A and B are shown apart, each in its own frame.
Chain A
Amino acid sequence: MIAQPMPQRRLSKEELLAWVERLLRERSVIAPVRSGERTFLQEISAPSEVDLEVGRPVNSLKEFLFPATETLFRLRRGKRAVRMELPEVGRLQVLFLVRPCDAAALTSMDALFLGEPADFYWGERRKNTALVGLACLAVPTPECFCTTVGGSPIGTANMDVILYAQDGGYVAEALTERGEALLSLAGGAAMEQPFVPQAPELPPFPCPPIEDWQRVFDDDYWQRLGERCLGCKICTYNCPTCYCFDIRDRGTGGRVERLRAWDACTSKHYSIEASGHDPRPTRGARLRNRFCHKYFYFPWRYGGTLLCTGCGRCVAQCPVNIDLTEVLEEVAVRARKGEEARQG
């Protein structure tokens, strides 16, 4: 937090891109880049690559703090001893034009990765990553539902700087000391009157409490939903808060590296135990786990924090129209019906 808030600055498009140019000199910049019909968050080498019209990139910011695959350490057998090497992690980077829902994802991911015992790799990257957010003054996509899960289209959680697209340019505001330092590299003029953002309205959906998820645990709904689920990992891999991973060693001839790579509870082999028993043997049971993890187990364990920011990626990208907003409605309705039936 800043003791004395810095005045907002007005940046033209050109000034914004010139700022990116200056940021690129000292650190990696990750920004939305358009490729054909899709926009992806990726590392850029020039400001001209940035897609300023970005709605919601296909991928989330997750991979820049928790890569799809990373080496945890390497072991090398020497003449007398085994040497262990840690990879270099935590280069300076800026995540640029991050939407509030993606930035909000870091709250739950921090709770998980920075809780004891803290994850060294997440911690190092997190420390060295700055976020320049882009507020949603208009609803970017039809699948957005951040307000349902306690977020806001103009929320600033975890950001260092927030940008408001305004009059063909941007209003920039530093939110942290790091943000001030970054913004000091930008041109533009100080605003005389502060810009006060207005949040757009989003369609409201129910957000069932933990008890509701408990009540519908054995509902036939999950099996019916599972009938059409493909069992792929789109919803989890492009989710900003799905964090499941697998760890395995690879290597031969005296050199071994330990890898950590994303994994997903929606896939068939994820929950098979060493005995061969699978506690989640059906697609329905696996889907239920994904939703319950986000709305039941995680908030239960982490003081109410949901593991969902309403970014809408899983809704937009599911090939068989499994729509989380519909799941929320169904759970709310079925929990109420179940409760009414129980009380007679």
Chain B
Amino acid sequence: MSVTDDLRRIARELLESGRVTRVIGYEEGRRGQVRPLVARTVEEAGRLLFDERCARNLALYLLDFKPQGEEEPPAVAVVLKPCDARALNVLVLENQVRREKVYVLGVACPGIPGKPACASCTERIPPTFDLLLGKPEPPPAPAGPDDLSRLLALSPEERRRFWAEQFRRCIRCYACRQVCPMCYCEVCIAEKLDPPWESIAIAPSENEFYHVLRAYHLIGRCIECGECERVCPMGIPVFLYQRYLAEEVRQTFGFRAGMDAETPAPFMTFRKEELEDLP
């Protein structure tokens, strides 16, 4: 039995029994692509699939089922890879999603071929799931020096020039923000109008402001799925700065976002004794 066969069978059972109202997964799209599917019926569940083209982070779509006021959110099932499940943990921690309302169809991740975020990732089993599909394969040996080590080898001035050149290209389509499960603000600070924190100009200084701000808002919250970079139409290595910051948080605080749904990010807690560490 393939993962896809198991997935379809279980999704049908979940929908038929009324355990969940929807199953969020992948289906075959056009032109050889896979795409997200929110299956509502047993028939639609028959279209679900999982293979190594399933690069997206479907935890994003759980935000569409956020409780509205007093209303109970509907129970949904969702297909999550390890990084996607880390996103769920952060969303649960931050009270955006109720874990008991989500049935996690965890998948043992093969690593998505060609996806830069996967090249440095060794996780194969989601940190949270209700059912695990597939058998985890051992992660491949890490390749040689990657983008991050190349970037860190540059001088600060060279780095500044590198990023200025990258952000110059940005058209502020906000795809990196829209695809990010952690970017769930009702109104992004980059688009606040009253008062405006930045002008509507699509120009280098505004672009830089947006990217730096977003990076800072994600420190200790980024779960390193790399979707921001994968969706960028302009080829900006958006994940590179995010990865750098995630690495800093790991080295400084021994913390990685979303490994569980209980430990808050270092910058979301404050302990009095930490004052003494300040210069």
In angstroms, Cα B235 to Cα A35, docked, is: 9
Q: Is B122 an interface residue (CB 8 A)?
A: no
8 Å CB contacts to B: which residues of A222-240? Answer: 224, 227-228, 230-234, 236-238
In angstroms, Cα B202 to Cα A238, docked, is: 13
Q: Is B203 an interface residue (CB 8 A)?
A: yes
Q: Which residues of A contact B101 (CB under 8 A)?
A: none
Q: How large is the interface on B (under 10, 10 to 19, 20 to 34, 35 or more residues)?
A: 35 or more
Q: How far is the CB of A12 from chain B (nearest CB, A)?
A: 32
Q: Is B30 an interface residue (CB 8 A)?
A: yes
In angstroms, Cα B196 to Cα A317, docked, is: 30
In angstroms, Cα B22 to Cα A224, docked, is: 13
Q: How far is the CB of B161 from chain A (nearest CB, A)?
A: 15
Q: How large is the interface on A (under 10, 10 to 19, 20 to 34, 35 or more residues)?
A: 35 or more
B200 and A237 form a contact (CB under 8 A): no
Chain A residue nearest to B55 in the complex (CB): A319
A238 and B30 form a contact (CB under 8 A): no
In angstroms, Cα B175 to Cα A228, docked, is: 13
Q: Which residues of A contact B199 (CB under 8 A)?
A: 248, 250, 259
Q: Is B179 an interface residue (CB 8 A)?
A: yes
Q: How far is the CB of B163 from chain A (nearest CB, A)?
A: 15
B233 and A58 form a contact (CB under 8 A): yes
Q: Which residues of B contact A89 (CB under 8 A)?
A: none
Chain A residue nearest to B206 in the complex (CB): A69
A269 and B175 form a contact (CB under 8 A): no
Q: Which residues of A contact B275 (CB under 8 A)?
A: none
B203 and A69 form a contact (CB under 8 A): yes
Q: How far is the CB of A281 from chain B (nearest CB, A)?
A: 13
Partner of B171, one of A68, A142, A267: A68
Q: Which 10 A-B pairs have the closest CB atoms?
A: A232-B175, A321-B35, A319-B231, A321-B29, A68-B202, A233-B173, A230-B178, A232-B178, A228-B36, A261-B200
The chain A residues found within 8 Å of chain B, CB to CB, are 35-38, 40, 58-59, 68-69, 142-143, 224, 227-228, 230-234, 236-238, 246, 248, 250, 259, 261-264, 267, 269, 315, 317, 319-321, 323, 325-326
Return 16 A-B CB contacts under 8 Å, by A number.
A36-B235, A68-B171, A68-B203, A69-B201, A227-B64, A228-B35, A228-B36, A228-B37, A232-B173, A232-B175, A237-B173, A248-B200, A261-B200, A261-B201, A269-B191, A321-B31
